[in-house]
Structure 1
Amino acid sequence: MISFVISISVLIIGYYTYGKFIEKVFGVQKDRKTPAFRLQDNVDYMPLSAWRIFMIQFLNIAGLGPIFGAIAGAMYGPSAFLWIVLGSIFAGAVHDYFSGMLSVRHDGLSISEVVGVYLGPKTKHVMRFFTVILLIFVGTVFLVGPAKIIDGMTSNQWGVWGWVTIILVYYILSTLLPIDKLISKLYPIFGIAMLLMALGLLGALFFGNYQIPELVPGNLINMTTNPEETPIFPMLFVTIACGAISGFHATQSPLMARCIKNEKNGRKIFFGTMITEGIVALIWAAAAMTFFGNVEGLNIAMLENNNNAAWAANEISLNMLGGVGGFLALLGIVAAPITSGDTAFRSARLILSDVFKSNQKKIKNRLYISFPLFIIAFILTQIDFGVIWRYFAWSNQTLATVVLWTITAYLIFENKTYWVTMIPAMFMTMVCSTYILIAPEGFELANDVAYIGGCIITLLITFFFWSYTVKEKRYLINEI
C-alpha cells in the first residue's frame, strides 16, 4: 500500500513541478489569439470552457487502455507501477502537452500535418496513412469492446451485434454533428461516471482487506506465467500504453486545440489529463494485483479466462464495489471506450479533411469523408478482436514515437531544451523496434537477437534524425 500511495503522490507532484518546467520550455503566450477564436466555424473550431475541454480530452484519451491495459500490465507485478508513474510524467504527459500545443500554434492542424511541418513532406504522407489506419483500429476496438461488455451486463438480450449497431449509430452522429451538440454535453456526465468509478475502487483498496504488493527490489521481476515469452522489455511498455504514453492521444489533442481559449490552459488540459489517466491506470493495476489474492492469482485467473481483461474488470467492479457500485463502475468502463471511439472517427475525418482541403462546415462534406471510414470499421469487426488489439497496441506506440521525434525536431529548431523529448523518443524507438522483432504478430525472433536488432535500429534512427535536423537547422539559419 505504501508504494501505491507514493506512486499516486509522485504523479500529482509531477504535474505541479515537471509540468511547469515543460510549460516553460514551450513558452506559453497567454495573449496570443487561439484558433478557437481566429478560425471559429461553430463545428470543429469553437471556444469551450477549460473544465469542459478537460473532461472531453480526458475521455478522448482514456479508453479501455488505462483499464484493460493496466489489468494486463498488472500480470507483470509491481514493475507496472514504475512504468505508469515514470511513463506518465516523463513521456506521456510531455508527449500530450507538446502535441496539443503545437496544434494550437499551427491553427489546430491534425498531428500528421504537424509532423510534416517538422519532419518533411515525405514523413507527412506516411503519417497521414498510418494515423488514419490507427484511428480506424481504435474505432473498431472501441466498437466491439463496449458492445461485448453491455451485452454481458444485459444478459445477452440484444446480442453483441445489436449493441454494435447502436454504438455505430452514435458514432456516426458524434462524428458528423458540431462538437457542442453531442460531445460537449455528454462527456461531462461520462467523465464524472469514470472518475467516480476510479474513486470507488480507490476507496475499496484503502478501506477493504486488500494487500497491494510493494514496489521493492525483490518484486521488480517478471511475474507473468511464462517470462521467456512475455519479457518485461518490451512487452510491458506496449501492454500499458494509455496509462503511460499513447500515440492515440496525439490524434485527439487537435480536437481540443481547436477549442481552447487560452494557451495558459494547455498544461491543465493536455499535461493534466495524462496525469489523471495515469492515476486511473494505477488504481486498476493495484486492484487487479490484489483482488485475485496476489499477482500469481491474477495470472492464473486470466489464463483460465483466455486473458480476457473485460471479464477481470467485471469481476473486480462487482465484487469490490458491490451491486450498485459495481454497476456504476461498469457504466464507467463502457463510457470510456465509447467516448474514445467516437472521437477516433471524428479525428480521422479531420485528418482527411486537412489532406483534401475539404471545408467541414457543410454536413455533406463531413458525410463524404466519414461514410467510408464506418464501412471499413464495420468490416474489421469481423476479424478476431485479439488480433486487432495487438496490432493497435504496436501501431499506437509507434505513432507516439514518431510524435516524440517530431517534438524534438521542433525544440532543436527553436533552440529549446530538446532532451526532454529526445530521451523518451529514443527509449520508445527501442521499445517499438524490439517489440515488432520479438512479438508473435511480428518476426518472432529470439529475445537476444531482438534486443540487438532493437539497439541497432534505435541507433540508426537517432543518427538519421540528427543528420536531418542539423541539415534543416543550417538551412533555416541561412534563410534568415
Structure 2
Amino acid sequence: MITFLVCIALLILGYFTYGKFVEKVFGVNVERPTPAYTHGDGVDYVPMNVTRNSLIQLLNIAGTGPIFGPIMGALYGPVAFIWIVVGCIFAGAVHDYLTGMISLRNKGAHLPELATKFLGKAMKHVVNAFALLLLLLVGTVFVTTPADLLYVLMDGKVPILILVGAIFLYYILATLMPIDKIIGRLYPYFGALLIISAVGVFIGLLVKGAPIPEISLKNFHPDNTPIFPLIFFTITCGALSGFHATQSPIISRTTENERQGRKIFYGMMIAEGIIAMIWAAAAMSLFDGYGGLKEMLAAGGPGLVVSEVSKMMLGGIGGTLAVLGVVVLPITSGDTAFRSARMIIAEYLNYAQKKLTSRLWIAIPLFAISIVLTQIDFNILWRYFSWANQTTAVIALFVGAMYLYVAKKNYFIALIPGTFILVMVLAYILNAPIGFRLPMNIAWVGSAIGTVILLALFFRAANKNLANNLPLEEDVSDWKGVA
C-alpha cells in the first residue's frame, strides 16, 4: 500500500514541479490569441472554458487504455507502477503538452500537418497514413469494448449487435455535429461519472486494506516474466500514448488562452496516470495473486476484471455506476477518434468542414471501413493498435523536440523520451508475431542501428530548419479581434 500511495503522490507532485518546468521551457504567451478566436467557425473552432476543456481532454485521451492496459500490465508486478509514474511525468504528459501547445501556435493543426512542417514534407503521407490507421483502430476497438461491457452489465438481455449499432449512431452524431452541441454538453457529466468511479475504487482499496504489493528487489516483478519491450505496449494510455497526439489538437481549437495549457494537456495526462495506478493496484491485489488475475483474464478479459473489482469495492449499485464510468471511457475516445480522422482528412485534402454535407462526404467512408474492421479478431486489432499507438508517440515527441531545437530551447525534454520509446517500437516490431519475428537479441541490435540512423536524420533536418529560420508558429499579428 505504501508504494501505491507514494506513486500517487509522485504523480501529483510531478504536475506542480516538472509540469511547471516544461511550461517554462515552452514559454507561454498569454497575450497571443488562440485558434478558437482567430479561426472560429462554430463547428471545430469554438471557445470553451478551461474546466470544460479539461474534462473533454481527459475523456478524449482516457479510453479503455488507462484501465484495460494497467489491468493486463498488473501481471508484470510492481514494476508497472514505476512505468506509469516515470512514463506519465517525463514522457506522456510532456508529449500531450507539447502536442497541444504547438498545435495551439499553428492554427490548431493536427499531427500530420505538424509533422510535415517540422520533420519535412516526406513525412506528410507517412504520418497521415499512420494517424488515420491509429484513429480507425481506436474507433473500432472503442466500439466493441463498451458494447461488450454493456452486454455483461445487462446480463446479455440486449443483443450485442443492437449495442454496437447504438454506439455507432452516437459516434456519427458526435463526429458531424459542432463540438459544443454534443461533446461539449455531455462530457462534463461523463467526466463526473468517470471521476466518481475512480475515486470510489481508490477509497475501496484503502478502506478494505487491499494487499497491494510493494516494490522491492525480490518483488520487482514475477519470475520469468519478460518486461522489455512488452510492458511499454501493454500499459500505454496510462503512461505514454500517441493517440493523445490526435486528440490534443481538438482542444487546442477550443482553448481560450495559452496559460490554460498546463492544466488541460499536462494535468489531464497526470489524472489519467492516477486512474491507471488505481486499476493496476486493484488488479494486483484482489484476485489472490498473479495466478488468480491470469484466470480472471482468461475467463472474461479485462472487462470481467473491471466488473468484479467494481462489485467488490463498491457493492451492487456502486459497482454498476463504476462500470458505467468505465463504459464512458472508450465511448468518449471513440467519438473523438472519428472526429479527429474527419478533421485530418479535411486538412489533407484542404476541404472546408463548415457545411454538414462536406463532413458527411468524409465521415461516411470512415464509418464504413470501421464496420468492416469490427469483423476482425479483437486481439489482433489490439496488437496493431498498440504498435501504431506508440509509433505515433515517437513521431509526436520528435515534432516537439524539433520545435524546441529550432526555438533554441531545451529540446531534450522531448528527445530523450522520444528516443527511448523509439528503441522499444523498433525492437517490438522486429520481434513480434505481427512484425518480422526475429529473435529478441537480433531485434535489439536492429533497433539500436535503426535508432542511430533516425537520430542522425533528425539532427540533419534540425540544423537545416535552424539555418532556414523555419517559422515556428502562425502569424497572427494582423488579427483584429479581442481574445
Q: TM-score range by the shorter chain?
A: over 0.9
1:400 aligned to 2:378? no
CA contact (8 A) 2:70 2:238 kept: yes
Residue in structure 2 matched with residue 18 of structure 1 by the alignment: 18
Deviates more, 1:413-422 or 1:290-299: 290-299
Amino acid across the alignment from 2:435? G
Alignment of 1:427-466 (within 5 A): 427-466=420-459
**Which ranges in structure 1 are unaligned for 5 or more consecutive residues?**
none
For 1:336, the aligned partner's letter is L
Q: CA deviation at 1:106?
A: 0.3
- Shift of the alpha carbon at 1:468? 2.0
Shift of 1:222: 4.4
CA positional deviation for 1:281 = 0.0
- For residue 237 of structure 1, the aligned residue among 232, 238, 249 is 232
Asked whether the equivalents of residues 110 and 251 of structure 1 are also in contact (C-alpha less than 8 Å), the reply is yes
1:415 aligns with 2:408: yes
Task: Tell me which moved more, 433-442 or 462-471.
Answer: 462-471
Q: In the alignment, residue 241 of structure 2 is paired with which amino acid?
A: S
Amino acid aligned to 1:474 = A
State the Cα RMSD in Å. Answer: 1.3
Tell me, yes or no, if the aligned pair for 2:353 and 2:359 is still in contact at 8 Å: yes
Which residue of the partner structure matches residue 287 of structure 1?
A: 282
After TM superposition, the structure 1 = structure 2 runs for residues 64-75 of structure 1, keeping only pairs within 5 Å, are 64-75=64-75
Unaligned runs of 5+ in 2: 471-483
- 1:310: Cα distance to partner? 1.2
Q: Structure 2 CA distance, aligned partners of 1:254 and 1:438?
A: 33
Residue 78 of structure 1 corresponds to 78
1:305 maps to a residue whose letter is A
Displacement of 1:444: 2.1
C-alpha distance in structure 2 between counterparts of 1:35 and 1:291, whole Å: 47
CA contact (8 A) 1:408 1:418 kept: yes
Counterpart Cα distance in 2 of 1:344 and 1:441: 23
Q: Partner residue of 1:305?
A: 299
Q: Distance in 2 between matches of 1:320 and 1:126?
A: 46
Stretches of 4+ aligned residues off by more than 3 angstroms: none
Q: CA deviation at 1:442?
A: 1.4
In structure 1, give the amino acid aligned to 2:454: I
Paired residue type of 1:244: A
DSSP-derived class of the 2:59 partner: helix
Could you tell me which residue of structure 2 aligns to residue 116 of structure 1?
A: 116
Q: Distance in 2 between matches of 1:95 and 1:163?
A: 34
**1:369 corresponds to:** 362
Stretch of structure 1 that moved more, 210-219 or 175-184: 210-219
C-alpha displacement of 1:311:
1.5
Match of 1:264 among 236, 256, 259: 259
Q: In the TM superposition, what whole-angstrom CA distance separates every residue of 1:10-57 from its partner, at most 9, and x where no partner exists?
A: 000000000010001111000111111111111110100100000000
Match of 1:330 among 320, 323, 328: 323
Looking at structure 1, the residues matched to 294 and 216 of structure 2 have their Cα atoms a distance apart, in angstroms, of 20
1:194 counterpart residue number: 194
**How many angstroms apart in 1 are the aligned matches of 2:266 and 2:71?**
23
Aligned length: 471
Residue 186 to residue 251, structure 1, CA distance change in 2 (3 Å): same
Equivalent position amino acid for 1:369 in 2: I
Query: Aligned partners of 2:199 and 2:184: how far apart in 1?
Result: 23
* Correspondence for 1:319 among 298, 312, 320: 312
Query: Aligned to 1:243, what secondary structure does the other structure show?
Result: coil
State whether residues 171 and 335 of structure 2, in contact with CA within 8 Å, keep that contact through their aligned partners in structure 1: yes
Give CA deviations for 1:46-72 in whole Å, capped at 9, x if unaligned: 100100000000000000000000101
Structure 2 counterpart of 1:94: 94
Q: Which moved more, 1:260-269 or 1:115-124?
A: 115-124
Q: Is the 8 A contact 2:118 2:402 kept in 1?
A: yes
CA shift digits 1:350-406 (9 cap, x unpaired): 101111111111100011111100000000001111111110011000000011111
TM superposition shift of 1:299? 2.8
**Structure 1 residue identity aligned to 2:69:** G
Inter-partner Cα distance in structure 2 for 1:184 and 1:133 = 26
**Residues 66 and 235, structure 2, Cα contact 8 Å, conserved in 1:** yes
The two structures have a TM-score, normalised by structure 2, of: 0.96
How far apart are the structure 1 equivalents of 2:184 and 2:411?
35
Aligned residues of 1:222 and 1:232 also touching (Cα < 8 A)? no
Q: Residues 83-115 of structure 1, C-alpha deviation per residue, up to 9 Å, x if partnerless? A: 000000000000000000011000011111011
Q: Deviations over 1:243-265 (max 9, x none)?
A: 00100001001110000000000
SS of 2:76's equivalent in the other structure is coil
Determine the C-alpha separation between the residues in 2 that align with 1:447 and 1:133: 26
Whichever residue aligns with residue 343 of structure 2, its letter is L
SS in 2 for 1:305: helix
Instruction: Find the aligned partners of 1:383 and 1:121 in 2 and give their Cα distance.
Output: 33
Q: C-alpha displacement at 1:271, in angstroms?
A: 0.1
With 210-219 and 12-21 compared, the bigger mean Cα shift is at 210-219
1:101-131 superposed Cα distances (whole Å, 9 cap, x missing partner): 0110000111110111100111022111110
Indicate conservation of the 8 Å contact 2:296/2:304, yes or no.
Answer: no
**Residue aligned with 1:41, SS:** coil
Task: Find the residue that maps to 2:468 and give its secondary structure.
Answer: helix
Report the counterpart of residue 131 of structure 1 in structure 2: 131
Secondary structure at the aligned position of 1:260 is classed as: coil
